[in-house]
Amino acid sequence: MFKHAEGAQEFSSLRRLEVRDIAERLGYIAPSRIHMNNYPTDNPIAAFNPAMYLDREYLRVFPRIIIGYYMYVSAVALIEIPVADVVDKHITNAHYAAELVVYPTMRYDVWGVEDPRVNPIGSETVSMVYTGRGVNYFNPTIRQERTLPVVALSKLGNGRKWSKKGVFVLPKHLRSHIVSDKDAFLVRTPDDRLWLFHRPHTDDERCHLVISRVSEDPTKVDGIREIGVEDTTIILEPASFEQKLGWAAPPIEVGSSRYLALIHAIENVNYSYNVFAALMEYRGESGFRVVSVTPFYVMGPRTIYEIYGDRPLVVFPCGMVEIDGQLIVSYGAADYVIGFAKIDKQELLSILEGGASG
């Protein structure tokens, strides 16, 4: 159904089922310490899978929140956190105000706005791509496009006002085979091309870690429309010990045409969510390929709030920024709380340089 990038299968065969956790935990934010300013309920029931970007001395953090378990309908809130609170490990005991900023409003997300990824795609524009639970999500007779990636835009430095611009769809001959599509974000490359990183689940019960070319720039779209993607390419296959892979946080540039990405994986022993890293190279018209992967997981569930929650054994990164040579990662812990961790960038790159590469 989709073509493979160079090395997509070979790199997966070089990885092994092992965790060498190099992420220093910085703390967490429990739902009881989040206070909603613009919604009748003071605290969400759960807050997890947070996107994030750096804005001077603040981290703008966008968690997925749940305010009721009846239909488990999600929305996205904004929490503004001083950088010092995170790096100095003050967050666990602090309280934060939050504001509901993106929530269900249309047929593409009426049953939930889930798992946002946020990153700049221009000098003044920030994109949020989230998983929209569509109108047929709970309809047992329709098993097509139950979730799709939806893009909303905001001005850099704002974070409160978002304009929904479109929903990303595959070509017509493939759409009937898409059960769902999630774990998505946009990347604008230096040649001004836009790429969608995403994970379609097809009706052969396979989930594919892919990158697609975006046919229409959402910054130039009026209203909300379906935006096509094309030239979809599988970047990595799951290893033999894994059920599926998914994109974690949007990547950071680490050199000319090179990007460092985090990828989450469900292993098939304990069904736990773990994280490994990949170094990717951008090749212009031909897209991306992996040049190196960590041969082991670099982060896995080990604290009590990562081991036990609404979905046990989960670390699920959705945000990553670089501060003074350190990668600050925001992640969902056990589908219940917001976690923060720190990874030394040079240590991670050294593992990649000495790991499975080609």
DSSP per residue, 40-109: SSSS-SEEEEEEEEEETTEEEEEEEEES-SSS--EEEEEEEEEHHHHHTT-GGG--EEEEEEE---STTT
Query: Is the per-residue pLDDT at 24 higher than 70?
Result: yes
Band the pLDDT of 356: cuts 50, 70, 90: low
Residue 249 half-sphere exposure toward CB, CA atoms < 13 A: 34
Phi, psi of 32 (to 5 degrees): -65, -15
Residue 59 half-sphere exposure toward CB, CA atoms < 13 A: 25
Query: Is the per-residue pLDDT at 352 higher than 90?
Result: yes
Q: What pairing do the DSSP bridges indicate for beta strands 24-29 and 74-82?
A: unpaired
Q: What is the DSSP string of 143-184?
A: -S-SEEEEEEEEETTT-S--EEEEEEE--HHHHTTEEEEEEE
In angstroms, the CA 293 to CA 8 distance is 11
Q: Please report, for the chain, the start and end positions of each structural domain, with discontinuous segments joined by +.
A: 3-357
Question: What is the per-residue pLDDT for 223?
Answer: 86
- Which percentage of the chain shows pLDDT scores above 90? 94
Average pLDDT, the chain: 96
The model carries a pTM of 0.97
The angle at the Cα of 68, spanning 63 to 74, to the nearest 5 degrees, equals 35
Instruction: Please compute the mean of the pLDDT values over residues 246-258 and round it to a whole number.
Output: 95
- Give the containing element (helix H, strand E) for 306: helix 304-307
Q: How far is CA 248 from the centre of its chain?
A: 4
Instruction: Please compute the mean of the pLDDT values over residues 161-175 and round it to a whole number.
Output: 97
Q: Name the superfamily (CATH) of residues 3-357.
A: Glycosyl hydrolase domain; family 43 (2.115.10.20)
pLDDT in tens, 281-306: 999 988 999 999 999 999 999 999 99
Q: What is the DSSP string of 176-227?
A: TTEEEEEEEEEEE-TTS-EEEEEEEEETTTEE-EEEEEESS-GGG--S-EEE
Token pair for residue 258?
């090179």
Query: Is the per-residue pLDDT at 12 higher than 80?
Result: yes
In angstroms, the CA 190 to CA 42 distance is 43
**3-class DSSP assignment, residue 2:** coil
- Burial group, residue 220, by CB count within 10 angstroms (0-12, 13-18, 19+): exposed
pLDDT in tens, 69-117: 999 999 999 999 999 999 999 999 999 999 999 999 999 999 999 999 9
Query: Is the per-residue pLDDT at 357 higher than 80?
Result: no
In angstroms, the CA 342 to CA 262 distance is 13
pLDDT in tens, 27-45: 999 999 999 999 999 999 9
pLDDT in tens, 232-251: 999 999 999 999 999 999 99
Question: What is the per-residue pLDDT for 355?
Answer: 61
pLDDT in tens, 128-159: 999 999 999 999 999 999 999 999 999 988 88
More reliable by pLDDT, 209 or 123:
209
Question: What is the per-residue pLDDT for 55?
Answer: 93
Q: Which residues contact 324 (CB under 8 A, 6 or more apart)?
A: none
Question: What is the per-residue pLDDT for 358?
Answer: 47
User: Contact at 8 Å (CB) between 227 and 186?
Assistant: no
The angle at the Cα of 163, spanning 157 to 169, to the nearest 5 degrees, equals 120
pLDDT in tens, 14-23: 999 999 999 9
Question: What is the per-residue pLDDT for 354?
Answer: 79
Q: How far is CA 198 from CA 2, 206, 337, in A?
A: 13, 14, 24
Query: Is the per-residue pLDDT at 1 higher than 90?
Result: no
- Torsion sign across C-alpha atoms 149, 152, 157, 160: negative
19: DSSP letter: B
